[in-house]
Structure 1
């Protein structure tokens, strides 16, 4: 009834790994499901609302029922929305769970409080604040207790190139013997392009019948590192990018609205920065440079000037590279680069549809042309709009050397393939950390 032929085994395995997203390697596995179990959500809701009800009964028993109910609903919505976002982004690699949890619940509770105030709905602010503190402590404790279970355990088939994933630290690895029956684990990792003898084909069949997912080693490597490394067009797995056009339209609307809000809120600050730049050194406050947008089309990108005027030739490949401790950078420019304030004029590029808030960073035209000649698949970055911040920026920072740019390209291709609102939220959270620490600034 079940064939052990190599082609049929590989077809089932490829079908399994072909439909899984990077996140599914975690979310569909036992470890991913336990990352933030639903019991954690129920516990936070029960304790927060319970404390609210007890405090109201003990201290303010004369509160109207509407205020009691409104506060309970607000607590529930704040915890539920924060939990949902946290659970979705926890499937991606390099997520700092504690920092993300704190930021997300801070945002969810603030949104609920603002909504209640704007709608004029009566509530108990102290109960909401107490619920926020309880929720953060509760989830921090849950993260600590479940730390070991969050690491998936994979069975590794030591054939072909699959052995290279043993160096990855985001999972526990067990080498398997085809003569032994399949052991419960989060998945079997194998090089699907390797030649398999009859014993290994029978083992994979037994794994399939036991409900153990089979993953190509590159899929698992991508899920653990946040990098997409491809050797040929058949392995690129980027053909489905165009299928997510709905999110592209939604993202464009959000970009435009956020840019409008930023201009209104930051307008005076941007004018102040422009004045300080003029006072710090000679030259215009804005720097213009030709870069590439979606589809590889050239556009003029705007930044606050951070270098001395005439310190670089516009079309020079070497001058387009900004190196660590670059002597061309002004005193004020070093601060603007470290805090990413120099990127804010690109809000104008977002208005014009040339850029997004989040996406692969656009390179200067001379650099982009050179990278296209040196690095295969570099042009895939142009499948999405470039961004002020991106997956490569928050994981690797600014680089110029060819080998480092190749590594950066793998991060960019990961973003192109997995572009979604959840990955964008994670990048936004990591960008906040980047701004505070100055990570990757040159």
Structure 2
């Protein structure tokens, strides 16, 4: 798993002056290797991330190898790690490839209103904390999540799913993304973390705005932060028992249990930021997991049995989505702490490496027969890897919510069918998370309740 001794390409790293001076066509200069001129770096966020991701990552691997130069909005250069082996190497070495975004060698070129600041910017959250402090913060987070009882979570999800389905089950038609998948995870998480259920729809839209990285990204982030801040402040006046209050007790901000995990080392602002991270990271990927799985089951005959009350193929469909259509496509990121080489590339200190979970999942080195890899193979990168991976309790919560959501809608609407041609379905404009914009369905009307 060590970097190659003889790089196959000599492209200047994104942090070099040559890269910074590159024209609008790319943030890295063209390399001239044995195969001739290398194609210009890809703009991260182009149409093919939505329309043809498999072909896109195949072409990137052919043209650039397992570590490809890309350009972020504002002509800011970065590396996209699409090789399975290389991604494993980066996520396994937090000393060389740090999560500390302060290391980025491009900060002097980032405008204050840059739309990707919510995804990459300097933050107080656990996402960008490293070393022992990260491990202690993770203990607070996992301590709060571990108290969630699986059977209670399933019951809560079923109740909220039934409530959402009651709103449209009598009409014989629905738009599953907006009316169901995009609402249910948020409502469940608000219950778990103590956020007001009444603000669910607005918060769900704010989360989506933030993740899409468009002109409303910063406003969406601010809306979520303000809502979480109000909730945390209210806990000091009206204590309640949920994930957020347990995190505050573990960090010394509320009286109660003391597991000797953390003292009052972490500020209330840090707890607020971590709750924001968990709500955002828990809602949108789970919503897309639900939507992408229902799309697969409604368009692929291999999973038709589940549409008639069967249970055996729901888990397989969910697993296949994590390989073929994973919600978490590309994650920012890691920053090199010193000059190094990986995947035949020269990486400069401070360069940004974006983790392409989707690219790694498609890597022919692990997909030699291009199979779907269902049937329990969980070697996908969809939940990350290493010490910054998705915590196990959070993965378990997401799986329970997603599976329960799919089971309930198939039980309630057993003849559900796609209301448009599969080719008409479109994806949300985001290179980060992959999900549908719409999933219109039809079914025999049934009474509410």
In terms of Rg, which structure is larger? 1
TM-score, L = length of structure 1: 0.26
> Per residue, is there more helix in 1 or in 2?
1
How high is the TM-score relative to the length of structure 2? Answer: 0.26
